[in-house]
């Protein structure tokens, strides 16, 4: 071959190799920068403690929780990093990647300083109910102060990516979907049994929801609730007839079976479905219907579906975390998760969706049960506390009206009355702090200005700081002793900053997710920025969480 030809041939080889390398590098960079699942599915299981995964592990099937963990990424030391650990703040924090200090949902209900009245986190008198003649649909996300992850996806895709949000609870559906959702649907039981929404999202129900409601779908869930397996299999929970469980009206004892049809009239009509695992099944069925009818995940533009399972919370409150009822609910929940995954595989594609599963808070053991097994626990009598504190207020300040409200373990003071009395706000707060420390069942008391200066190395103080919103929170906060709740002696609740309320599951699964697990500390506000990083979209403007980089492939 002539020298010139040989030189040109070598140049051609070098150019081709360089071009291929650049092409490969560019393609590789795109994959590293972001992935584009057709659908992101965000699942929140209301009141799911982390140890429900481990405690019931041997009884789960292979295609639900075990499939997610075996093929996804699990954060084993995942916590809420704020107080109050309640449904509204929980869903808002998952969705926004920040805490109540910034997103503003400080509780389910709170005392509003401007109107001097209690407000519900998603109530909105300016909108209309859609799908029901009741006022139960007059809801919106307007009290949520920042954008959600789904909102950011809508912005990123020029509103071509859809968002549909579903839950039995209105606040769970609304706060998960955010401000720009195409629709948020929640369940109105009572005498109607329908999926509804509000005019914030749309003026009328889409035809498919209207037809679904008119089909009488709800009747199929009014069935007897018996144990899924033989009683002998339920060794991870207390005896069936336990003294620590509440009763459904019409039942003489808290034992299986529960005939929902027979109990319906005494327990809120169709609302009784929410108090059974069939509420989770109903939610799964409606979510699957929504995917089909809304064409979610059918093109290359990422859509969002958020699903919150509420019945787990209602059952946990009523029967406690050590009941046969809660164990059976999670074994059935495992089947609902398996069914949803199977549908996503066939309808969207086995490697075309990304999913995360978490909770909005945990729950405590029933204190009376802990007492009976010699573990320190107790009950806080809120009514007695409030009555005695009002007497203290009248005697100290001359006017009981100085104390405007006590809610969410916070005191709201009337600043105007205080100034007229000649007592400074700072002095008044100090007097209340000193007084509240005298009451049994209380561990810590802080004035609001103390909270603003907290040392975040103390976990409880750090969680109070992140749950404190300067414009919405109270003047004095108090913290109950561990395993101490303000609740009836049967059943249980949540809301504290202790580990039984803060430790929640977190599993990532699907496209762009690396298999594995970590025991390093992660937090609820990390979920949104992690998914945002995966998608290559902006996080919420107030996001304070970190990307869990170990989870990303």
Q: Give the per-residue pLDDT at 274.
A: 98
Same domain for 366 and 391, yes or no, is no
If one counts the domains in the chain, the total is: 2
| Domain boundary residue, one of 480, 508, 539 | 480
Same domain for 85 and 155, yes or no, is yes
User: Which residue is listed with tokens 């629709």?
Assistant: 183
Query: Contact, 163 vs 40, CB < 8 A?
Result: no
Rounded-to-integer distance, Cα 344 and Cα 348, Å: 5
3-state secondary structure 236-301: CCCCCCCCCCCCCCCCCCCCCCEEHHHHHHHCCEHHHHHHCCHHHHHHHHHHHHHHHHCCCCCCCC
User: Average pLDDT for residues 75-94, to the nearest whole number?
Assistant: 98
The three-point CA angle 109-126-208 to 5° equals 95
Q: Give the per-residue pLDDT at 457.
A: 78
Same domain for 309 and 219, yes or no, is yes
User: pLDDT, tens digit, for every residue of 451-496?
Assistant: 988 877 789 999 999 999 999 999 999 999 999 999 999 999 999 9
In a domain, 23, yes or no: no
Of the residues 74, 85, 87, 539, which is catalytic?
87
In a domain, 192, yes or no: yes
The answer for 516, left when phi > 0, alpha when psi is -120 to 50, beta otherwise, is: left
Please name the residues in contact with 453: beta carbons below 8 A apart, sequence gap of 6 or more.
Answer: none
Q: Is the pLDDT of residue 7 over 70?
A: no
In a domain, 4, yes or no: no
Same domain for 262 and 311, yes or no, is yes
In a domain, 288, yes or no: yes
Domain of 426, CATH number, reads 3.30.1360.150
Same domain for 468 and 365, yes or no, is no
Q: Give the per-residue pLDDT at 32.
A: 66
In a domain, 366, yes or no: yes
Q: Give the per-residue pLDDT at 23.
A: 38
Same domain for 220 and 281, yes or no, is yes
Same domain for 367 and 430, yes or no, is no
In a domain, 29, yes or no: no
User: Average pLDDT for residues 224-235, to the nearest whole number?
Assistant: 97
Same domain for 110 and 156, yes or no, is yes
Same domain for 225 and 327, yes or no, is yes
87 catalytic? Reply is yes
Same domain for 223 and 281, yes or no, is yes
Same domain for 141 and 221, yes or no, is yes
Domain of 145, CATH number, reads 3.40.720.10
In a domain, 490, yes or no: no
In a domain, 34, yes or no: no
Same domain for 337 and 389, yes or no, is no
The parent domain of residue 92 ranges over 41-371+497-551
Q: Give the per-residue pLDDT at 8.
A: 46
């Amino acid at each position: 071959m002539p020298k010139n030809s040989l030189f040109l041939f070598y140049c051609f080889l070098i150019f081709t190799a360089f071009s291929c390398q650049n092409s490969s590098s560019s393609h590789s960079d795109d994959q590293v920068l972001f992935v584009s699942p057709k659908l992101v599915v965000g699942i929140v299981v209301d009141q799911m403690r982390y140890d429900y995964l481990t405690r019931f592990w041997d009884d789960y099937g292979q295609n639900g929780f075990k499939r997610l963990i075996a093929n996804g990424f699990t954060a084993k030391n995942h916590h809420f990093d704020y107080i109050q650990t309640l449904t509204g703040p929980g869903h808002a924090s998952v969705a926004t990647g920040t805490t109540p200090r910034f997103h503003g949902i400080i509780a389910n209900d709170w005392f509003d300083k401007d109107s001097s009245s209690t407000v519900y986190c998603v109530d909105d008198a300016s909108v209309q109910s859609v799908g029901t003649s009741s006022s139960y649909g007059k809801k919106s996300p307007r009290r949520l102060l920042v954008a959600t992850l789904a909102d950011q996806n809508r912005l990123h895709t020029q509103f071509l990516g859809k968002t549909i949000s579903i839950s039995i609870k209105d606040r769970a559906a609304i706060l998960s979907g955010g401000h720009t959702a195409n629709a948020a649907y929640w369940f109105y039981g009572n005498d109607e049994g329908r999926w509804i929404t509000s005019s914030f999202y749309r003026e009328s129900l889409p035809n498919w929801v209207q037809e679904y409601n008119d089909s009488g779908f709800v009747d199929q869930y009014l069935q007897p609730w018996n144990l899924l397996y033989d009683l002998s299999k339920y060794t991870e929970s207390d005896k069936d007839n336990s003294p620590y469980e509440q009763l459904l009206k019409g039942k003489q004892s808290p034992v299986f079976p529960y005939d929902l049809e027979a109990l319906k009239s005494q327990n809120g009509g169709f609302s009784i479905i929410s108090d059974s695992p069939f509420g989770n099944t109903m939610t799964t069925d409606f979510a699957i219907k929504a995917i089909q009818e809304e064409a979610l995940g059918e093109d290359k533009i990422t859509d969002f579906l958020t699903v919150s399972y509420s019945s787990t919370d209602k059952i946990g409150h009523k029967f406690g975390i050590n009941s046969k009822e809660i164990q059976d609910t999670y074994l059935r929940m495992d089947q609902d998760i398996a069914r949803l995954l199977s549908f996503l595989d066939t309808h969207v594609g086995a490697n075309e969706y990304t999913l995360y599963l978490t909770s909005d808070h945990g729950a405590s053991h029933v204190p009376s049960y802990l007492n009976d097994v010699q573990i320190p626990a107790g009950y806080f009598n809120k009514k007695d506390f409030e009555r005695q504190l009002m007497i203290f207020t009248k005697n100290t300040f001359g006017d009981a009206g100085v104390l405007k409200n006590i809610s969410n373990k916070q005191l709201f003071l009337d600043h105007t009355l205080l100034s007229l009395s000649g007592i400074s706000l700072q002095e008044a707060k100090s007097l209340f702090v000193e007084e509240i420390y005298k009451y049994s069942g209380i561990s810590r008391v802080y004035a609001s200005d103390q909270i603003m200066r907290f040392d975040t190395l103390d976990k409880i103080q750090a969680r109070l700081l992140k749950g404190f919103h300067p414009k919405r929170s109270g003047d004095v906060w108090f913290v109950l002793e561990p395993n101490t709740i303000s609740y009836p002696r049967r059943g249980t609740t949540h809301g504290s900053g202790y580990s039984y309320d803060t430790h929640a599951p977190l599993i990532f699964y699907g496209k762009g997710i690396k298999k594995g697990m970590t025991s390093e500390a992660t937090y609820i506000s990390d979920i949104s920025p992690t998914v945002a990083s995966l998608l290559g979209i902006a996080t919420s403007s107030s996001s304070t969480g970190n990307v869990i980089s170990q989870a990303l492939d």
